[in-house]
Structure 1
Amino acid sequence: MKKKLSLRRIVELYDEVLSLPHKQEVARELRDEEDLFLLLLYSDLLGIPNPAFYYTLELYPHIVEKFHDWHLRMGMEKSPLDGIRCC
């Protein structure tokens, strides 16, 4: 039993050592993917036709909280969309 725990800890340490120099890159990639996802969700409100609008409509209530962080990160003090008031 102890061998399994120690082997598991070794694998965790190895993974941490490998991923340490890339944490900022991974975080940036995840943020960029989230920005693209938000653009797809709100593109119809921005005037960009979105063929997946019907499927993304049900996600709006879950994403509204993240929308505020997104528009601040994009440099907009207030929400650029009239239909979404987060500030």
Structure 2
Amino acid sequence: MAQRRGEFSRRWAALRDGLHEFYVGPYRDTFLREKRDEDDLFMIVVLGEALGVPDPAAYYSAELMPAVWQDFHAWHRRIGIPASPLDHVACC
């Protein structure tokens, strides 16, 4: 009985993984591109005040700056800025 249950669980997991790949696979690049675009927008919102963009919510977004520092270098290189656009941050 336990062996049948294990076999059923294994087959069910394989079917589930196959269906997930069937439906999500063709759109994987689209999902990744959209996630990257959302991350870029989030980075601009958080760093807007430091980049010189007036931000009425700067008081709240300043708390999020430590969360984006680790991705800052990859972000500014990806959007086409060769060196750090911030005077007080020298990541390059």
* TM-score, length basis structure 2: 0.84
User: By how many angstroms is 1:52 displaced?
Assistant: 2.4
- Tell me which residue corresponds to 2:74: 69
CA distance in structure 2 between the partners assigned to 1:47 and 1:60 by the alignment: 15
Partner letter of residue 41 of structure 1? Answer: V
Q: Where do 5+ consecutive residues of structure 2 fail to align?
A: none
- Tell me which residue corresponds to 1:17: 22
- Aligned identity (percent) is 37
Q: Where do 5+ consecutive residues of structure 1 fail to align?
A: none
Corresponding position: 1:37 with 2:42: yes
CA distance in structure 2 between the partners assigned to 1:51 and 1:10 by the alignment: 50
User: By how many angstroms is 1:68 displaced?
Assistant: 0.5
CA distance in structure 1 between the partners assigned to 2:25 and 2:46 by the alignment: 32
C-alpha RMSD of the superposition: 1.3
Larger Rg: 2
